[in-house]
Amino acid sequence: MIDLIDSELEKLIPASSPYYLSLLEGARYSLLAPGKRMRPLLTLYTAEMLEEGSTERALHPACALEMVHCYSLIHDDLPCMDDDDFRRGRPTLHKVYNEGHAVLVGDYLLTHAFDILAHAPSLSAEQKISLIQTLSSASGGDGMIGGQVMDIEESKDITQLHQRKTAALFRCALAFGGIVTGASTETLDKLALFGKQFGELFQIVDDILDGDHPLGEEKAWEAMHSIEAQALKTLEELPGDTTSLRELTLLVVQQSQKCATPHS
């Protein structure tokens, strides 16, 4: 499934242009770098769970979501934010080009994502509008950008920070799968709950791996196992075969074993 996502991402970013080649080169450098593709995988797995054979319809929305995630990483790495020199073992974009190019590449990926949603094949106008509204909310002030502001202001409300900065795009990924398959309101609500839990779990594991425990090390491990149980229970309440979503959830938890302690 990751190969399918990577192949489509490569098609969606042109390889050449007579006017702004460096913009496209920068976008491809960051977007096509090897990654876990968690967010688009969640969209594709959810769509297939709800309606077998829906992967093709869900593919462009899934790729649009990965573009927004990539834009956020490019901007997070800038000197005015986290000031990181490396991402996934390679120099960050502003080190390969410059800060101005990195800002513009991020802006391009963000805006291009919405263009892709507007022209996504095999979806109705209503579905496209719903996808655009969902991604706008997840990536804006009430979502990822709001969470980033809370982060740079060193907010003490860790739960709300994680819900906005990290979990919002995971909730969006699950919602995308529901939207492209015409899921019921009840199912969409369950997907939103699982997306919230998955995002919380992902962030806690990420903090454990980074050695950064806002809750304290012991409480972080306790919280991880508690949220894992909640997420798996929510999956049991969803229709269809949830095996792929369950395996992805367990994979996130397994990452914590790299830093195994007596609490694990």
- Per domain, the residue ranges of the chain are 2-183, 184-264
Contact 190, 165 (CB under 8 A): no
CA atoms within 13 A on the CB side of 69: 25
Q: Using CA atoms, how far apart are residues 191 and 9, in angstroms rounded to an integer?
A: 25
At 264 the pLDDT is 34
At 215 the pLDDT is 67
Question: Which DSSP category does 143 fall into?
Answer: T
Distance of CA 121 to the CA centre of its chain: 22
pLDDT per residue rounded down to tens, the chain (264 residues) = 999 999 999 999 988 887 788 999 999 999 999 999 999 999 999 999 999 999 999 999 999 999 999 999 999 999 999 999 998 889 999 999 999 999 999 999 999 999 999 999 999 999 999 999 999 999 999 999 999 999 899 888 888 888 898 999 999 999 999 999 999 999 999 999 999 999 999 999 988 888 776 667 788 899 999 999 999 999 999 999 999 999 999 999 998 877 655 343
Dihedrals φ, ψ of 87, to 5°? -140, 120
Contact 62, 9 (CB under 8 A): no
* Residue of 177, 196, 175 lying closest to 50 (CA atoms): 177
CB burial readout 235-248, b (16+ within 10 A) else e: beebeeebebbeee
| Vertex 161: Cα angle to 84 and 232 (nearest 5) | 105
At 88 the pLDDT is 81
As assigned by CATH, the class of the 2-183 domain is: mainly alpha
At 125 the pLDDT is 98
Contact 91, 99 (CB under 8 A): no
- Assessment of whether the complete model's pTM goes beyond 0.75: yes
At 260 the pLDDT is 54
Computed on alpha carbons and rounded to an integer, the radius of gyration of the chain in Å comes to: 18
- Among the residues of the chain, which ranges form H helices? 2-12, 21-31, 38-50, 55-76, 93-96, 99-118, 125-139, 144-152, 158-162, 168-180, 185-210, 217-236, 243-255
Q: Using CA atoms, how far apart are residues 166 and 164, in angstroms rounded to an integer?
A: 6
At 93 the pLDDT is 96
